[in-house]
Structure 1
Amino acid sequence: MNFIQVQDLLENYKSAIYEKDVERFVSAYGADIHVYDCWDNWECKGIPAWKENAKVWFDGLNAEGVSLKVDFADLEIQEGSDLAFAHGAVTFAAYNQSGEKLRQITNRFTFGLRKEQGSWIIIHEHSSLPISMENGKGLFDLR
């Protein structure tokens, strides 16, 4: 895929997750992707590992009969000629097949992007949650 604008890449991110399309999802990432995620692993390096994470994620959603609608808020994009970054809040809202909203979480995120052959790709992704000082657990419901 060709992502001329960073916003094109973000729209692909949203629709690939909603459609649970692993190939389209990872098409927005560089081969050398380095991810710091909120779930399970401290980090993930490279497309093969990131693709496997996405497959497990999407397979779990399919098994549960859930689709995720993704929404970005407080989005800031800084775009140079060959490097860019985007940051803000991303909400993942889970819906069942009847369209009933089951749950949602909001993470903070940052994407570091590089332009390759005229297309933006994500080379670094970092998602986080604030942590409760009382119990050390992530705070999922601040938004």
Structure 2
Amino acid sequence: MSVANQEIQGVLENYKSAVFEKDVEKYVSLYASDFHIYDCWDDWECVDRSQWTESTKEWFHGLHEEGVLLKVEFHDVAAEENLSLAFIRCNVTFAAYNQSGEKLRQVTNRFTFGLRKENETWTISHQHSSLPINGETGKGIFNRK
């Protein structure tokens, strides 16, 4: 693995740990100064750091109130990069556990990340999450086959 790939893997590891720790500052710091997010939950898109920070606070607060530990796993990760830009596509599983370690639920989303170097650090400048839609029901498919 090249240094750039190790650094990119570090972004994914920091994403996982920020979510597990419910660390809003750590999570939001992963994003570039001028990011663009297409999310499949609630808001269609987000380009405003204060809005993203508030959404993250609400998400993590909800997890805290529920007493849930959220573990993130990345699957089928494919990355390409040059000196200043990187592209990652993957499936991301969010699994919720109670304090006893019992799995309560999980969902898997498809993610695409566009990363850019800012101050010699990889940051997420674009994020797109999606779910396939069942053609018969019109409902999102939340788990991989």
TM-score tier, shorter chain, comes to: over 0.9
Deviation at 1:66, TM superposition (A): 0.2
Other-structure match for 1:94: 96
Other-structure match for 1:61: 63
Does 1:139 find its partner at 2:141?
A: yes
Output aligned runs, 1:49-128, within 5 Å: 49-128=51-130
Other-structure match for 1:44: 46
Secondary structure in 2 matching 1:5 = helix
Contact 1:83 1:114 in 2 (8 A): yes
RMSD: 1.0
**How many equivalent pairs are there?**
140
Please list the CA deviations of residues 97-119 of structure 1 after superposition, one character each: whole Å capped at 9, or x if unmatched.
Answer: 11110010000000001001110
Question: Which amino acid is 1:49 matched to?
Answer: Q
Runs (5+) with no aligned partner, structure 2: 1-5
Task: State the TM-score, normalized to the length of structure 1.
Answer: 0.95
Runs (5+) with no aligned partner, structure 1: none
Deviation at 1:141, TM superposition (A): 2.4
Percent of matched pairs sharing the same residue:
61
Deviation at 1:54, TM superposition (A): 0.6
Task: State the TM-score, normalized to the length of structure 2.
Answer: 0.93
Secondary structure in 1 matching 2:15 = helix
Cα distance in structure 1, aligned partners of 2:75 and 2:144: 13
Cα distance in structure 2, aligned partners of 1:129 and 1:65: 26
